[in-house]
Amino acid sequence: MSKTLNVLLAGFGGQGILFAGKTIAYSGLMDNKEISWLPSYGPEMRGGTCNCSVVISEESIGSPLVTQPDVLIAMNLPSLDKFVDAVVPGGTILVDSSMISKKVERTDVNVYYIDATKIADERGLKGCAIIILVGKMFKEVGFCTKEALDKGIQKVIPAKKAAMLGLNQEALKIGMES
Amino acid sequence: MAEKVLMKGNEALAEAAIQCGCKHYFGYPITPQTEIAAYMSKRLPKEGGVFLQAESEVAAINMVLGATAAGVRSMTSSSSPGVSLKSEGVSYIAGSDLPALIINVQRGGPGLGGIQPSQSDYWQATKALGHGDFQMFVLAPSTIQEMVDFVPLAFEVGEKYRVPSMILSDGMLGQMMEPVEFPEKKDTAIAEKPWATNGHQNKRPKNIVNSLYIEPEVLENLVKERYERYEKIKAEEQRAEEFMTEDAEIVIVAFGASSRVARSAIKTAREEGIKVGMVRPITLWPFPEKAIEKTIPTAKKYLCVEMNMGQMVDDVRLVVNGRKPVEFFGRTGGVIPTPAEVLDQIRALAGKEM
């Protein structure tokens, strides 16, 4: 990983975009990295598109708004169309191919298609599709140590929702193995 | 040392206020600051404090006036249009020589404007949040840690000089999360308030909180006395961060969110060999004239970067006073400038002259 990793997660409200962003952010924090997390906010969140910028860095973070992502996680077609050209050359795009049938035309980026929503539904992990993609991102980009990721997912799930921890850990594992 | 936690700026600021003894919060919801009110509503009752959602912003600021007159630490928060509504009450607080903390999590304007981050209330905060001759102590955080650290500072300075304080934040800092550390809990030494209207119990003459003075000479003397305090604040309370300014030929002046963007651009420009640095005003009033003055010997040009159409640039020009050119770059309406845009400005300035 270079000094700074800019991550953009985008999809519909309700797909866990902000939660997945927090998972990545907390994992980076467990490695004692500098972190920022910036959500889109306002009416666009209510059923519309939702996105979240996460920066993990060795040094203090300037703008927390990611305009040229190193990694894009796209959970629906409007999000992919909107941000595909913004990804830096050599960057990584993770696509939920259950939601997006279109293929990325660019050849200067690494693209991974995961049938995340379908896999999640089949395995009883409804709502965890994006965490499968976070697992895949961990495997391909290595944004933190494995230990930090394990701690990060524990940190981000509040005590009263402890039942969700196992499901999310399972989803991460599926992503890392796919 | 306490553990670092990830928190939204709005929530971190609210927690900081509670931790430094502010038990009285009066507010009204508005995006993008509502998390402050929501957090207070959850936490303050458990802390033995008062959270009150007022019927309007005007009511909320007048409740702050009442609470602070009684000698307790008290605050309100809002975003740009809501802060405008508070202006009458803020002027009354200043005219009554009371401390109070007002938070503005700015959004685009004028009017209802938008809900995305902005810095277009700089003039309002530093020149005239309300009618009459008065100033507020204004702090501009640029990180979530500063959203926390500036809360006790705002209270302490406000109480020391008996002036209202403002933390001028914006939607980006309010909504984003960053690791933050809360200072070890200590008994906050809240200054004695012999002026407070908290019951004389027949042991002292009664205190009166008032901003009405019919006799012009009386009012003039009072305002003049207040301005003597403002001069002390100007002399003693200026704060700024100097970033890579030792040899800077191009000096950027930026505060809050836009200073973060500028910092990224400066780092890249330095790698390209451009001698550029930044003065980041932490206090917007008093404006950090001394920090700007220090850069005059090396500076060939100044560039003010703001999320508005050019407001703080006036204050920079007043300090530079024609000795060097002062340029401006800004985005407004809720648009956050990108480091690439600021870098282009720096390159252009460097190319033009060096």
List pLDDT tens digits, range A25-80: 999 999 999 999 999 876 655 567 889 999 999 999 999 999 999 999 999 999 99
Q: What is the pLDDT of residue B187?
A: 61
Residue B353 has pLDDT above 60, yes or no: no
Shortest distance between the Cα of A55 and any Cα of chain B, in A, equals: 10
Q: Which residues of A touch B31 (CB under 8 A)?
A: 41-42
Q: Which residue, chain included where needed, has tokens 């800019």?
A: A6
Q: What is the pLDDT of residue A40?
A: 87
Angle at A78 between CA A75 and CA A126, to 5 degrees: 25
A31-45, A155-169, B143-157, B167-181: range with lowest mean pLDDT: A31-45
Between B16 and A46, whose confidence is greater? Answer: B16
- Residue A133: count of CB within 10 angstroms of its CB: 28
Q: Which residues of B touch A38 (CB under 8 A)?
A: 172, 175-177
| Closest CB from A29, A38, A68 relative to B175 | A38
Interface confidence, given as ipTM, is: 0.91
Residues spanned by CATH 3.40.50.970 within chain B?
5-236
Domain that holds residue A158: 4-177
Structure tokens at B116: 């995305």
Say if residue B216 is preceded by a cis peptide, omega within 30 of 0.
no
Q: Sign of the C-alpha dihedral, residues B280, B283, B284, B289?
A: negative
Alpha carbons B123 and B268: distance in angstroms, whole number: 31
Overall fold of domain B5-236: Rossmann fold (3.40.50)
Alpha carbons B305 and B264: distance in angstroms, whole number: 13
Average pLDDT over residues B155-175: 97
Mutate to test the interface with B, among A36, A55, A151 (most CBs of B within 10 A): A36
H helix and E strand count, chain A: 6, 6
Q: Say if CB A15 and CB A132 are below 8 A apart.
A: no
Class of domain B241-353: alpha beta
Interface membership of B348 toward A (CB under 8 Å): no
Between B300 and A163, whose confidence is greater? Answer: B300
Domain CATH for A79:
3.40.920.10
Interface membership of B334 toward A (CB under 8 Å): no
Interface membership of B338 toward A (CB under 8 Å): yes
Residues spanned by CATH 3.40.50.920 within chain B?
241-353
| Closest CB from B175, B177, B264 relative to A25 | B177
Alpha carbons A144 and A142: distance in angstroms, whole number: 6
Structure tokens at B125: 């905060």
Alpha carbons B169 and B39: distance in angstroms, whole number: 17
- Which H/E stretch holds residue B278? strand B276-281
A-B Cβ pairs (cutoff 8 Å, strict): 62
Question: How many structural domains does chain A have?
Answer: 1
Give Cα separations from B329 to B303, B337, B352 (angstroms). Answer: 7, 9, 16
Q: Do A41 and B171 touch (CB under 8 A)?
A: yes
Residue A86 has pLDDT above 80, yes or no: yes
Question: Which residues are bridge partners to A93 per DSSP?
Answer: A72, A111
